[in-house]
Structure 1
Amino acid sequence: MKKIDTIIFDLGGVLIDWNPEYVFLDAFEGNREKMQWFLDNICTMDWNENQDAGYPIKQATSDLVGQFPEYKVFIEMYYGKWENMLGGEITGTVKILEKLIKTNKYKVVALTNWSNETFPIAKQRFEFLNWFEGIVVSGDEKTRKPFKKIFDITLNRFNIEAKNSVFIDDNLKNIKTANTLGINGIQFINPDELIKSLELYNIHIK
C-alpha cells in the first residue's frame, strides 16, 4: 500500500460546478442546438483554455469579435456574464475536502485551469478555497493542464513527492499527464465514487 501524504484537487468540475450553459441556454432562448453550435464553434473550450493559460480576456474577446462580428453580443457575454456560469459548490466533494483537512494527515493543495482575471471572483464566493495550503492557478503560471510544466510547478512549489500524492481531476487528459510523472491520478465522477477511489490508497473518509 502506497503511503500518501499529499492530495491535489482540481477545482472546476470537482469542487465547483461551472458551466457556460447557465448563461447561454438563456441567451439562445432555450434552443440547446443553437447554444451547442455556438460553444463548439465560436466560444470554444480551446479558446477559453487560452485565457486559463494567461491570455488577457479583453484581448481574447476583441480577437474573437474580429473573427465573428455577427456574434459580438454573445461573445462579449462569455466573460461579461462569466460569474453566472458558476453554479455553486459540489457539496459532496467539499465535505470530503473538509474531512481530509481535519484529519491533519495530508498536505491538501489545488491545481486549477483558471484565468487569473476571474479567479478572484471564485475566491470571494467560495470560502473553502481558503482551506488549501496553496492553489496553483494556471493563469498566474502562463501554462495549464494537461501540460507537464504546471504539474512540475505544483510538485516543486509544495515540495511534493509525486509517488506519495493523489491528484483528483474530472478530465482524463490531465490524469494521464499526472500518471506519466508518477502522480497517482483519480478521475472524478462523483463524490461517492471519489470516496471509493480514495479507499484504494488507504484514505478513508468517515
Structure 2
Amino acid sequence: MTKIDTIIFDLGGVLIDWNPEYVFLNAFKGDREKMQWFLENICTMAWNENQDAGYPLEKATKDLVEKFPEHEKYIRMYYGEWEKMLGGPIVGCVSILKSLADNKDYKVVALTNWSSETFPIAKKRYEFLSWFEGIVVSGEEKTRKPFKEIYQIAIQRFNLVPEKTIFIDDNILNIKAANALGIKGIHFKNPAQLISELENYKIQLS
C-alpha cells in the first residue's frame, strides 16, 4: 500500500454541522413538510451550490425573489439568517483533525464548497480552521466540487501526489470525482467510522 502523506478534509458535514433546517424549521413554525417543500423547490441545494461557486449572494437572492415573489420573506432569510444555520463543530472529527495536524508525518489541508462571502464568518467562529496548512474555498476559485478543476487547484497549490492523498467528504459524488484523479476517498458517515477507515490506511491517531 502506498504510504499516505496528505489528508484533505471537507468542512461542512464533516467538521462543521451546517443545516438550513436550523433556520427554516422555526420559520415554518415546526411544520417539517412545509419546510422540506420550500428547501426542495425554492431555496434548493442546487441554488445554494451556485453561490458556493462564486455567484453573488445579493444577486442570487434578487433572482429568486423575482422568480418566486410570493416566497420573498423566506428567500431573504436564507442568507439573511445564514449564520444561524451553523450548528457548531462536529467534536469527534475536530479531535481527529487535531491529531493529524499535530503529526508532522502528514500534510493536512481542506477543500470546501463554501461562498466566499460567508466563509469569513466560519473562520472567525472556528479556531480549528487555522490548523490547516491551507484551505481551498470554492467561492474564491469560482468553481466547486465535484468539478475536476477544484481538485486540480488543490493538487497544484499544495504540491500533492494524488496516490498519496486521502480526501474525506460526506458527499459520495465528491469522493468519486477525487477518485477519478487518483485520490483515495473516505465517504464520511461519523467520527468512529472515519477513525476505522483511517486505520485501514495505516494512519495512526494519537
TM-score, length-scaled by structure 2: 0.99
The one-letter code of the counterpart of 1:85 is: M
Q: 1:168 — aligned with what?
A: 168
Shift of 1:104: 1.2
Q: 2:121 — aligned with what?
A: 121
CA distance in 2, matches of 1:82, 1:189: 24
Q: 1:177 — aligned with what?
A: 177
Report whether the alignment pairs 1:154 with 2:154. Answer: yes
Q: What's the CA shift string for 1:33-74, capped at 9, x where partnerless?
A: 000000000000000000000000000000000000000000
SS at structure 2 position matched to 1:160:
coil
SS at structure 1 position matched to 2:102:
helix
Q: 2:199 — aligned with what?
A: 199
Shift of 1:204: 1.5
Shift of 1:2: 1.7
TM-score, length-scaled by structure 1: 0.99
Q: What's the CA shift string for 1:136-171, capped at 9, x where partnerless?
A: 000000000000000000000000000000000000
Shift of 1:111: 0.1
CA distance in 2, matches of 1:84, 1:101: 28
Q: What's the CA shift string for 1:113-148, capped at 9, x where partnerless?
A: 000000000000000001100000000000000000
CA distance in 1, matches of 2:172, 2:150: 16
CA distance in 1, matches of 2:188, 2:124: 25
Q: 2:69 — aligned with what?
A: 69
Q: 1:57 — aligned with what?
A: 57
Report % sequence identity. Answer: 69
Greater than 3 Å deviation, 4+ residue runs = none
CA distance in 1, matches of 2:138, 2:147: 10
Q: 2:11 — aligned with what?
A: 11
SS at structure 2 position matched to 1:202:
coil
Provide the aligned length of Structure 1 versus Structure 2. Answer: 206
Report whether the alignment pairs 1:189 with 2:169. Answer: no
Shift of 1:103: 1.5
Shift of 1:205: 1.7
CA distance in 2, matches of 1:101, 1:35: 39
SS at structure 2 position matched to 1:46:
helix
CA distance in 2, matches of 1:102, 1:54: 32
The one-letter code of the counterpart of 1:31 is: D
SS at structure 1 position matched to 2:12:
coil
- State how 1:76-115 maps to structure 2 within 5 Å: 76-115=76-115
SS at structure 2 position matched to 1:103:
coil
Shift of 1:102: 1.1
SS at structure 1 position matched to 2:146:
coil
